[in-house]
């Protein structure tokens, strides 16, 4: 398992046309098995730690989160996927329709860009963009090259 740096930027544009963005930078771990890349990292939100797993294939991204927030979401071009977004305050039915997704991934590092529409409990909520950059941790660069 290689150490990696995971940079995630999410952008959300609601009905008012205003775009909000969040960014997360975390240390993580990467491994490859049967042609699929796995990236594991902890996302810290409001003093809560959320374990996140990215399963990356050439044409699909599977995002699993567990902790204060639990989520299991797939992204594939032109596909709508539905899941339960679980929080300490209750669950919400969340659907995402992936409009465009680009995955460029090498042995350990890569870039993922996803544009999607999100609906909560069946009602459109926002247009979103997710940008994920994964790079080797500085301590791994000499070993991986």
- For the chain, which domains are there? 2-144 (2.40.128.20)
Nearest residue to 77 via CA among 58, 97, 57: 97
What predicted TM-score, i.e. pTM, was given to this entire model? 0.87
Backbone angles phi, psi at 92, to 5 degrees: -130, 135
pLDDT (average), residues 103-108:
90
| CB contact at 8 A, 23 and 9 | yes
Percent of the chain with pLDDT over 70: 94
Percent of the chain with pLDDT over 90: 75
Q: Tell me 70's DSSP state.
A: B
| pLDDT computed for residue 35 by the predictor | 86
Give the span between the Cα atoms of 37 and 57, in whole angstroms. 7
How does pLDDT run across 30-70, given as a tens digit for each residue?
A: 999 988 999 999 987 667 789 999 999 999 999 999 988 89
The per-type count for the chain, helices as H runs and strands as E runs, is 1, 10
pLDDT (average), residues 64-87:
93
| pLDDT computed for residue 142 by the predictor | 56
């Amino acid at each position: 398992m290689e150490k990696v740096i995971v940079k995630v930027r999410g952008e959300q544009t609601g009905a008012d046309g205003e775009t909000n963005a969040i960014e997360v930078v975390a240390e993580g771990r990467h491994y490859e098995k049967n042609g699929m890349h796995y990236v594991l990292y902890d996302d810290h939100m409001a003093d809560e730690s959320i374990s996140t797993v990215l399963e990356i294939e050439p044409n699909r991204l599977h995002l699993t989160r567990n902790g204060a927030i639990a989520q299991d979401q797939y992204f594939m071009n032109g596909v709508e996927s539905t899941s339960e977004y679980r929080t300490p305050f209750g669950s919400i039915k969340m659907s995402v329709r992936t409009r465009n997704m680009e995955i460029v991934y090498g042995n350990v590092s890569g870039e993922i860009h996803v544009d999607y529409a999100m609906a909560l409990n069946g009602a459109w909520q926002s247009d979103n963009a997710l940008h994920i950059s994964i790079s080797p941790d500085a301590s791994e660069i000499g070993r991986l090259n």
